[in-house]
Amino acid sequence: MFVQKGLLIVLSGPSGVGKGTVCSVLRKEQSDIVYSVSATTRSPRIGEVEGINYFFKTREAFQQMIQNNELLEWAEYVGNYYGTPRRFVEETIQQGKDIILEIEVQGALKVKQTYPEGIFIFLIPPSLAELKNRIIHRGTENDENLIRRMNAAKEELKMLKYYDYAVVNDEISKAVKRIQAIIEAERLRKERILPYYEQWLKEEL
Amino acid sequence: MFVQKGLLIVLSGPSGVGKGTVCSVLRKEQSDIVYSVSATTRSPRIGEVEGINYFFKTREAFQQMIQNNELLEWAEYVGNYYGTPRRFVEETIQQGKDIILEIEVQGALKVKQTYPEGIFIFLIPPSLAELKNRIIHRGTENDENLIRRMNAAKEELKMLKYYDYAVVNDEISKAVKRIQAIIEAERLRKERILPYYEQWLKEEL
């Protein structure tokens, strides 16, 4: 039997925009989507669970994954590696299940090179002032880091043009609903339905 | 100030699939969309109001509209003319408002020639048996007409490939929700947001 490949959905946006929060709410509400878990060399924060929030790796293990081409994308960020294990993503969409990757802007652009048919959603802040606010309120940044992160965020904001959809994260619940609408609409695209439909027509007519 | 053109949304599908019902529910729920009112030469049914359900025209007036190129699409169907007044559609989208056209399959394909950037949604029945049921239960068809309409519907069903989205009309409320998701997603397309976004970036950065 023909099985349509699942959707590969990439949720990205500038640092500080709230990707993680939006994605975790989406994850609770939408159990019909598989979530890709990133690998990282940074230490687990309190409450973070191996295999749910991240796969926690040593630098050596991570570098081995890079060598073996086991990562769909990876980047080094503030001294730590982050990356997306390739095999899990590929197996999930081959089985016809939809998967979502919540990743950084640069990583998303790398995924696009491999999967141009993916659905690339860019989260944007309601304003730059608000983005600055959010970065400050994480409370982990000194002034120099803050300026560096704001400048990086400004560069990242210019990347919308490489994405398919723009979603303003003004309120988390609203942003989640918008993303859900995008996913529902993409599932209804003629191209996805046509193979089944033509089979159905043949049987019915 | 730059104003993005509104979306031109075309809702179509085979005769008997329930376009009218779905569209009237959508119309109640979604007041931010303008509805295109067709012109016709058929007589008003009980409860139908001029300018809301149709613009009722004489054959002479309708033929004059055809002559003057005032119709975006038109067709003759069971001895009556049906058509979409062009000017209202064009003015609405020029003002940046979204408009929905609920029209027959052939008419939709004509609109696509003029507006390939439109969003073409094809309603499909859950099964052919169900479509036959619906055509019978309209109660206005004799056997010969029924067979003719079923054959026409079968031909129309093959037209999905010219559309952008397929929506199964298994339950009216579900079909309406799917259409709403499509409209919301289309409004979030990068291409629609980018002109405003680049202006916003210029001001903020």
Digit-coded pLDDT (tens) for A76-105? 877 899 999 999 999 999 999 999 999 999
- The per-residue pLDDT for range B86-138, each reduced to its tens digit, is 999 999 999 999 999 999 998 999 999 999 999 999 999 988 888 888 877 77
d(CA A95, nearest CA chain B) in Å: 22
* Residues forming beta bridges with residue B12, ordered by sequence position: B122
d(CA A83, nearest CA chain B) in Å: 26
Q: For an interface test with B, which of A177, A188, A203, A205 has the most B Cβ atoms less than 10 Å from its Cβ?
A: A188
Contact of A195 with chain B, judged by CB distance below 8 Å, is answered with: no
% of chain A surpassing 70 pLDDT: 98
Report DSSP state, residue A140.
-
ipTM of the complex: 0.90
d(Cα A3, Cα B48) in Å, to the nearest integer? 46
The strand ranges marked E within A103-203 are: 119-124, 165-168
> In this model, does residue B140 exceed pLDDT 70?
no
Contact of A201 with chain B, judged by CB distance below 8 Å, is answered with: yes
Contact A165 B180 (CB under 8 A): no
Contact of A202 with chain B, judged by CB distance below 8 Å, is answered with: no
Calculate mean pLDDT across residues B127-154: 79
State residue B59's pLDDT score: 97
The end-to-end CA distance of chain B, in Å, is 20
Contact B166 A122 (CB under 8 A): no
Contact of A19 with chain B, judged by CB distance below 8 Å, is answered with: no
State residue A3's pLDDT score: 79
A181: nearest CB among B157, B185, B194: B185
> In this model, does residue A119 exceed pLDDT 90?
yes
Q: Which residues of A touch B194 (CB under 8 A)?
A: 160-161, 166
Q: Give A199's pLDDT tier (boundaries 50, 70, 90).
A: confident
Contact B124 A164 (CB under 8 A): no
Name the burial class of residue B2, with classes exposed (0-12), middle (13-18) and buried (19+) by CB atoms within 10 angstroms of its CB.
exposed
State residue A185's pLDDT score: 98
Calculate mean pLDDT across residues A41-57: 92
A128: nearest CB among B184, B185, B204: B204
Contact of B124 with chain A, judged by CB distance below 8 Å, is answered with: yes
d(CA B93, nearest CA chain A) in Å: 21
- Chain A residue with minimal CA distance to B157? A201
Contact of B205 with chain A, judged by CB distance below 8 Å, is answered with: yes
Contact of A151 with chain B, judged by CB distance below 8 Å, is answered with: no
Q: Which residues of B touch A122 (CB under 8 A)?
A: 190
Contact of A155 with chain B, judged by CB distance below 8 Å, is answered with: no
Report DSSP state, residue A69.
T
> If DSSP codes are grouped into helix, strand and coil, which group holds residue A56?
strand
Please report the sign of the dihedral spanned by the C-alpha atoms of residue B139, residue B166, residue B10, residue B158. Answer: negative
Q: Which residues of A touch B165 (CB under 8 A)?
A: 185, 188-190
d(Cα B53, Cα B60) in Å, to the nearest integer? 20
Please report the sign of the dihedral spanned by the C-alpha atoms of residue B107, residue A191, residue B126, residue A196. Answer: positive
Q: Give A205's pLDDT tier (boundaries 50, 70, 90).
A: low
Q: Give B1's pLDDT tier (boundaries 50, 70, 90).
A: low
Calculate mean pLDDT across residues A186-193: 94
% of chain B surpassing 70 pLDDT: 97
Structural domains in chain B, CATH included, are: 8-36+97-204 (3.40.50.300)
The strand ranges marked E within B47-184 are: 54-56, 71-77, 80-85, 98-102, 119-124, 165-168
Contact of A112 with chain B, judged by CB distance below 8 Å, is answered with: no
Q: Which residues of B touch A163 (CB under 8 A)?
A: 190
d(Cα B191, Cα B199) in Å, to the nearest integer? 14
d(Cα A120, Cα B116) in Å, to the nearest integer? 23
> In this model, does residue B198 exceed pLDDT 90?
no
> In this model, does residue B143 exceed pLDDT 80?
no
State residue B81's pLDDT score: 94
Q: Give A1's pLDDT tier (boundaries 50, 70, 90).
A: low
Among all chains, which residue has been given the structure tokens 């230490």? Answer: A43
Q: Give B77's pLDDT tier (boundaries 50, 70, 90).
A: confident
B178: nearest CB among A160, A188, A194: A188
When the pLDDT of each residue in chain B is averaged and rounded to a whole number, the result is 91
When the pLDDT of each residue in chain A is averaged and rounded to a whole number, the result is 91
State residue B171's pLDDT score: 96
Annotated binding residues of A, written as ranges, equal: 13-20
% of chain A surpassing 90 pLDDT: 70
Q: Which residues of A touch B167 (CB under 8 A)?
A: 188
Three-class SS of A22-52: HHHHHHHHCCCEEECCEEECCCCCCCCCECC
Q: Are strands B80-85 and B38-40 parallel, antiparallel or unpaired?
A: antiparallel
> In this model, does residue A127 exceed pLDDT 80?
yes
- The per-residue pLDDT for range A132-161, each reduced to its tens digit, is 888 777 766 677 778 888 888 888 999 999
> In this model, does residue A165 exceed pLDDT 70?
yes
State residue B153's pLDDT score: 84
